[in-house]
Amino acid sequence: MTDSIRDDVRAFIVENFLFGDATQAPADGASLIENDIIDSTGVLELVAFIEERFGIVMADADIVPANLDSLDRIAAFVAGRSAAARTQAAE
Amino acid sequence: MCGFGGYFGTLHEGERLLRAMTRALRHRGPDEEGVFVAPQAGLAHTRLSIVGLSDGQQPMRDASGDLVIAFNGEIFNYVELREELRGRGRRFRTSSDTEVILHLYDEMGEDCVSRLNGDFAFAIWDARRRRMVLARDRMGVRPLFYTQHGGTFWFASEVKALLQVPGVEAAMDPVALDQIFTLWAPIAPRTPFRNIFELEPASLMVVDANGVATRPYWRLEFPDEGEPSRHRDEAAAAEELRALLTDATRLRMRADVPVGSYLSGGLDSSIVSALAAGMTPQTLRTFSVTFDSAEHDESAFQAEMARALGTRHEAVHCGEGDIAAVFPDVVRFTERPILRTAPAPLFRLSGLVREAGLKVVLTGEGADEVFAGYDIFKEARVRRFCGRQPGSRIRPHLFRKLYPYLPGLQQQSAEYLAAFFGAGNDPLDDPLFSHRPRLRGTAAAKLFFSPDLRAALCGYDAAEEMASLLPEDFRRWHPLHRAQYLESRFLLPGYILSSQGDRMAMAHGIEGRFPFLDHRLVEFAAGLPPEMKLKGLTEKHILREATRDILPPLIGRRPKQPYRAPDSRSFTGAGALDYVAAAMSEERVAANGLFNPKAVAKLAAKCAGGQAAGFRDNAAFVGVLSTQLWVETFTAAGAGVARAA
């Protein structure tokens, strides 16, 4: 599941922040900030994408580099949230 | 203020080419023009008559006929120098400042520049020594470009005059483009024009049969960190500052025509206007720019200041589409790609001054460099504060205080704020520490560089070159002084005084004068303890103290509001003009070879959709558009420029 999340987010980043230049796509573990892929307004664009695409709502406390600063972190965060939502729904 | 050009070499058609140069520079000097031709050299001049209206024609010869000068700018202390020279028995034939330079050169040779307080670029043909001497003022207010072609050395106030010389052609220098997309400006002597260079500020150049020799005659320097300052008493320092600034303004009021003042509504131009208003018997005329958008508009502060001073105030409004309408002309005059639209309103402003019938304006430019006014200085201080405790969740909140006008930043978590500003990551001993976030943020726009351009650059790093040019004692200076040096050495002459300064004013034949850049004031401020300039997070503290009695409290206490103009949105929506879509089209971008056409198309679509909110997208859009316009304005054919590098 995290693979498909990662792919979706990568495609969004390539299209929206790299303007289609896939050769500049970040490695899975690479920092989006340190590699100058995302800036302060970009984070908000990323949050809007995640909420829309994966149907989750991010609280202010969720919007931190620990959750969003690489493809791996985003995939893990989204997968975790989705799993929690499924568990909650099953209960 | 004027324009000039010339050559060193033997030419058959010298006069014809000099005439062509004067035509290219006529906007800088619409009042008169002249040429001088000798067997080995020539000079051309277009004049904006400000001092010595009836007898200051140029090129000007001395009494012996051996020295001939073409000069752009003003020597503000020419009255004192002339008296001193007269006291030594020298006789003057004119009332101009130009003749003062000739006499001083006759006595001191090129070292005469050390006596000049002014904004100047000049060329002196010294027939006795068969050499051409070129000089440029300390801070880089007035421009001077040069090139060599066919065994002849050519120089001029603007590159467009050099392009009149057959065989001198415009082609983009890829390294200069990389520098602009990193530092906002090329690093002198490099210019965007391959094989055309500019004389660095505070430099002398001698051209003779032995070749070309360049040397600096002045440099900006700061005391070692921890070295005891002579300025221990703040009140005394403020008093000295006030006296110097008053004198710098008084000298800059000297003209045989009326002098007006720009009035942005900020601290610096308000101070200059207040001082000037007290020195002129007539009502001072002030000029400003207003905007539609509240985030850029300062008209309330401008009105408050104009009312307080009783000036006759006029404003030019920049509405939707106004920036796009003048942008091609702006690039024609900046002669370099730009990443911000901020020069465009200043282009319109100088047009307003010209329509008002004035030729000279004072401005507050330079105060932010000299007295540490820019946000980047505060930002560096907060980053250092965070860097001492990298895990802190409290310290990064200070970044919000720095940028109240950037809503995107206000919404970020402390962790993200720390990450964006590199707090805790950038080594504290990095010589470029203060500027790293800006360098990174700007260089992100290089994403749009084409594969050919990247290949031509071979991994070149503009920031690395910048670091390699720092003086030996740089590392011994206080961090604030290091940051001030970077700003003053690179951005001030390369962008602020050029693209936003001389080139926008002279496009309409307007001379800007900068009291804060009087070298006596610059040297004084460099010697002040850092905490007198940036006190906590209050910028220009000592300047506020020194001028408290001449400003309304609303202005005197006002935090720094950076001068900005709407960027990509100036070119979209109702302001969209056909030339923008054409210049950004895949076909034209591909033809010019500098950028990735598909990526640029996506960027243009994002901006057109109103989605480009961040600095990076805006800078990239304006940078690509201005580069495209530059190629199409100056080069015969843009195709293959990068490949041919």
**Cα–Cα separations (whole angstroms), residue B318 to A24, B310, B636:** 38, 24, 32
- What is the structure's pLDDT at B575? 58
Q: For the segment B208-250, what is each residue's pLDDT rounded down to a tens digit?
A: 999 999 999 999 999 999 898 899 899 999 999 999 999 999 9
User: Across residues B330-337, what is the average pLDDT?
Assistant: 98
Of the ranges B188-202, B332-346, B364-378, B625-639, which one carries the lowest mean pLDDT score? B625-639
| Residue closest to B200 by CA, chosen among B152, B142, B126, B153 | B142
- Does residue B642 carry a pLDDT above 50? no
Rounded-to-integer distance, Cα B181 and Cα B1, Å:
31
**Per-residue three-class SS string for A41-88:** HHHHHHHHHHHHHHCCCCCHHHCCHHHHCCHHHHHHHHHHHHHHHHHH
Q: For the segment B151-190, what is each residue's pLDDT rounded down to a tens digit?
A: 999 999 999 999 999 999 999 999 999 999 999 999 999 9
Do residues B14 and B37 touch, judged by C-beta distance below 8 A?
A: yes
Q: Find the distance separating the first CA and the last CA of chain B, reported in whole Å.
A: 36
CATH 3.40.50.300 fits A2-90, yes or no: no
- What is the structure's pLDDT at B32? 86
Give the count of alpha carbons within 13 A of B472, CB side only: 0
What is the sign, positive or negative, of the torsion defined by CA atoms of B353, B576, B503, B465? positive
- What is the structure's pLDDT at A83? 83
Mutate to test the interface with A, among B399, B406, B417, B420 (most CBs of A within 10 A): B420
In percent, how much of chain B has pLDDT > 90? Answer: 81
Rounded-to-integer distance, Cα B645 and Cα B643, Å:
5
Distance from the Cα of A90 to chain B's closest Cα (Å) equals 33
- What is the structure's pLDDT at B1? 60
By the CB < 8 Å criterion, does A64 face chain B?
yes
What amino acid is encoded at B457 in this protein?
Answer: L
Can you give the residue ranges of every domain in chain A? 2-90
* Nearest chain B residue (CA) to A31: B419
Contacts of A43 in chain B (CB under 8 A): 412, 416
Of the ranges A14-23, B102-111, B342-351, B421-430, which one carries the lowest mean pLDDT score? B421-430
Architecture of the B234-366+490-528 domain: 3-Layer(aba) Sandwich (3.40)
- What is the structure's pLDDT at B613? 66
By the CB < 8 Å criterion, does A11 face chain B?
no
Cβ-proximal residues to A58 (8 Å cutoff; 6+ apart), any chain:
A47, A50, A51
More confident call, B388 vs B202: B202
- What is the structure's pLDDT at B391? 80
Q: For the segment B29-55, what is each residue's pLDDT rounded down to a tens digit?
A: 888 899 999 999 999 999 887 777 777
Q: For the segment B550-595, what is each residue's pLDDT rounded down to a tens digit?
A: 998 888 888 878 888 888 889 987 657 899 999 999 999 999 999 9
Contact B602 A20 (CB under 8 A): yes
Can you give the residue ranges of every domain in chain B? 2-169, 234-366+490-528, 568-634
Rounded-to-integer distance, Cα B177 and Cα B172, Å:
8
Of the ranges A50-59, B277-286, B480-489, B608-617, which one carries the lowest mean pLDDT score? B608-617
- What is the structure's pLDDT at B358? 97
- Does residue B644 carry a pLDDT above 60? no
Own/partner long-range contacts of B54-61 (Cβ < 8 Å, ≥24 apart): B55/B93, B55/B94, B55/B95, B55/B96, B56/B94, B56/B95, B56/B96, B56/B97, B56/B98, B57/B32, B58/B2, B58/B4, B58/B34, B58/B98, B59/B4, B59/B34, B59/B35, B59/B125, B60/B94, B60/B96, B60/B98, B60/B99, B60/B102, B61/B36
- Does residue B467 carry a pLDDT above 80? yes
Whole-number mean pLDDT of chain B? 93
Which residue do the tokens 């260079």 mark? Answer: B197
Q: How many CB atoms lie within 10 A of CB B107?
A: 12
Q: Find the distance separating the first CA and the last CA of chain A, reported in whole Å.
A: 22
More confident call, B290 vs B414: B290
- Does residue B19 carry a pLDDT above 90? yes
By the CB < 8 Å criterion, does A58 face chain B?
no
- Does residue A1 carry a pLDDT above 80? no
Question: Considering CB atoms only, which of A21, A36, A40 is closest to B596?
Answer: A21
Classify residue B54 as left (phi > 0), alpha (psi -120 to 50) or beta: alpha
Annotated catalytic residue B2: yes
Contacts of B400 in chain A (CB under 8 A): none
Superfamily of domain B2-169 in the CATH hierarchy: Aminohydrolase, N-terminal nucleophile (Ntn) domain (3.60.20.10)
In percent, how much of chain B has pLDDT > 70? Answer: 98
Do residues B133 and B111 touch, judged by C-beta distance below 8 A?
A: no
Residues in chain A: 91
Do residues B459 and B605 touch, judged by C-beta distance below 8 A?
A: no
Do residues B540 and B367 touch, judged by C-beta distance below 8 A?
A: yes
Phi, psi of B49 (to 5 degrees): -75, 120
Classify residue B392 as left (phi > 0), alpha (psi -120 to 50) or beta: beta
- What is the structure's pLDDT at B640? 38
- Does residue A81 carry a pLDDT above 60? yes
- B385 by DSSP, 3-state: which? helix
Classify residue B352 as left (phi > 0), alpha (psi -120 to 50) or beta: alpha
Of the ranges A32-41, B345-354, B511-520, which one carries the lowest mean pLDDT score? A32-41
- What is the structure's pLDDT at B639? 40
- What is the structure's pLDDT at B612? 65
User: Across residues B622-630, what is the average pLDDT?
Assistant: 98
Rounded-to-integer distance, Cα B357 and Cα B351, Å:
10
